[in-house]
């Protein structure tokens, strides 16, 4: 069970900050595709600031301490090291494509492969996406 996201800053607040330290990006996830042509993103910084975008509209939230701890635990899962950079089923129609950037890596998946560590990470990030 995940805690729901909490709003903490106005949508026009700027979450940009230094590339190092607490203000650096912890993880970025972009979700594209599907029948409706979804284009959503979530960026979580080390200081807990979460920026979401959905077709150009953006919002800023604050991750709770528990959410941030859980996310860091998920990102530290050794099973993520075995996840390939691309895991896509070319025969699947209208699937969502998830592109995640973390720890200097970029991973793209459509979630058709059985990768529990990646599934847990995606599910943890999806709580902030509009319409999820």
One-character DSSP codes across 22-90: GGSEEEEEEEEETTTTEEEEEEEETTSEEEEEETTEEEEEE--HHHHHHHHHHHT-GGGGGS-SEE--T
pTM above 0.75, yes or no: yes
Mean pLDDT of 48-56: 92
Predicted confidence (pLDDT) per residue in 78-117, tens digit: 999 999 999 888 776 678 899 999 999 999 999 988 899 9
pLDDT over 90, % of the chain: 61
Residue pair 48/62 in contact (Cβ under 8 Å)? The answer is: yes
CATH 3.40.50 fits 6-126, yes or no: no
What integer pLDDT is reported at residue 9 of this predicted model? 37
């Amino acid at each position: 069970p995940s805690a729901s996201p909490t709003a903490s800053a106005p949508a026009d607040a700027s979450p940009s900050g230094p590339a190092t330290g607490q203000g650096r990006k912890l993880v970025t996830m972009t979700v594209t595709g599907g029948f409706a042509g979804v284009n959503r993103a979530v960026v979580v910084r080390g200081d807990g600031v979460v920026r979401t975008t959905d077709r150009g509209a953006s919002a800023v939230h604050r991750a709770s301490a528990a959410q941030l701890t859980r996310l860091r635990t998920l990102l530290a899962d050794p099973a993520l090291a075995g996840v390939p950079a691309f895991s896509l089923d070319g025969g699947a129609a209208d699937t969502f494509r998830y592109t995640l950037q973390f720890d200097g890596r970029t991973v793209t998946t459509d979630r058709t492969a059985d990768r529990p560590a990646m599934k847990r990470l995606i599910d943890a990030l999806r709580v902030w996406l509009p319409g999820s």
